[in-house]
Structure 1
Amino acid sequence: MWKSLHRAFPTMDELFKRCSAPNSTCPICHNQDESIEHLLLLCQRVEPVWFGGILNLKIDRDTVSSWVEWVLSFSMEHGSPNYDKMALLSYVAFSCWHIWEARCNFLYNNCQINPTQVLCAISNSARAFFEVVRRNPNPSDQGTVAIREPMWFTPPTMFTKINIDASWSAPACSGFVGVVLQDADGFFVAATRHAIRAPSVGAAEMMAILKGCEFGLALGLQKVLVESDSFDSVCSLSESLEMGGWEAFPSLAKAKRLGESFQDCRWSWIPSSANMTTDSLASQQYTEM
């Protein structure tokens, strides 16, 4: 199985062995041979994808001997009742696919690898897959397992996570923004709430992201992970501002500029079911904090 997996993956290392490549060096980092382990786990361009996603994995280079052994070890480590093994392994599979896709786009289309864009693509694919599984009326009949609800995860070391959300009333064109900050240990740092006026729900969500950036800068934070359940807003900030609606564009542009003021700012999508604390803070039902 292991040998067949190696042959199926046209890494530079494998192509070099077949005399189909001039060398076996990784075309991205140019530091090591591009084995399947290096491509999917160990390359420096891959590290932010693993610890920046919902798995929050920090790959230990010294313990990775083979891809298969790493997957088996991961499966056993997360095999407790508190985790859904199928959901986690599905997320790992989507992560590997989009890492490979980003590598190919870099190699053949001269597209620079943006970890945040890769994370957005992984989240989108995983979300669509999990929704299909949840809609299955008889999962036991087809051998599938129940998917656990999405969870909030702590940010990488030295980062502060800024969770934001917005509520919006169409008749009044107004609402509230909630911002909650937590550190890498999951401890509460600060929170704030603002009343806003916005022409659309998309504009309200972008105002929330803007308020989150302003709050983080006011507190003097250096490394932040700004997390929103507005997938369109996160993708617009990660990929291209032109992807956002015109009503949200002014806030998008301001948030993008503010993000560049941090030493390191990353944009992340989170399901609304895992963002309930901020959702409650932004709810119009609560007129006071």
Structure 2
Amino acid sequence: MPGSIATKDALFHRHISRSPLCPLCNLENETIEHVLFTCPWTRCVWFAHPLGYRFPLESITSLARWLQWLKSYFVDGSGDKSLLHTHVAFILWHIWKERCVCVFNHTPPTPDLVACKSFDAALEYIQRPLPRCVRLVTQPLTSPSFWTPPPLGTFKVNTDAAWHSDSLSCGIAVLIRNSSGELVAGSNQSLHAFSAVAAEALAVLAGLTLVVSLNLSPIILASDSLHVISALTTENFTMDWTVAPLIWKIRSLATSHSHVSWSWSSRQANLAADYIAALASRRMCPSDWVSNPPSSFLNLLLSDASQASHISSQNSVPFGFDVG
């Protein structure tokens, strides 16, 4: 029932506590919504967790309304929301547990540690017998089986992700090449993602972020994830809850860029990005792979470049979505 949790605000209204203020931040009354969502350290927990959620402060009117919104808003392809609900439940419990420890022991909260503990506890609870490594591969029948160069003056950005279901860790890769197939720039990261699709979306976001930082334009951004490209190019596309926040970030960033086209690629046409993503997922990617490519990776680049020299620059056709 409302007010049943012993927050300072609830105790104050029962004349048990002398102050309703939050004992950890002393900025606002310690309501249950403040404890779980809006206290500065609590917001850090939500963002540090692989869910990476930022709370719009004005949207938190009550815990009950937020939980109802959570149940109705996010969907995934199978209609199963249990994974999201499990992680949220463990985050809420570990936040409250940390709050109590800090209040009684007079110690500061540790948001990063709370995020890690809640994440690990949820994974232990879920215990799903999934294969060790899962990759999202989309291979449209009309997509070329080899890398195709962008038109002259345009840059092509290939992204890919390698995702491990047991640890929810992933490696992502970004390659930027010109119309001659020359590697202009690239990046890789080792991250966490709730699904293979979310990992692919993280790779696309990293690609677009790199493009913006280098001020490259126009670009064609190619991914072998049909789900992600469809979400970016289709209005009212039903998105997995693990992907929706990332798609919003990508769309928002794309609107600030002068010219972005999305391209759906086959895996065979994305082998160079696939190679780097696989290394990144094992944390084995050399730091200088862009300027000093490993021999096996260099062979992939040379193979792609040789294909580029034999086909017209007009053969690289964007998926059909343009921002700018």
TM-score, normalising length from structure 1? 0.49
Larger relative contact order, structure 1 or 2 (CA cutoff 8 Å, min sep 6): 2
TM-score, scaled to structure 2: 0.44
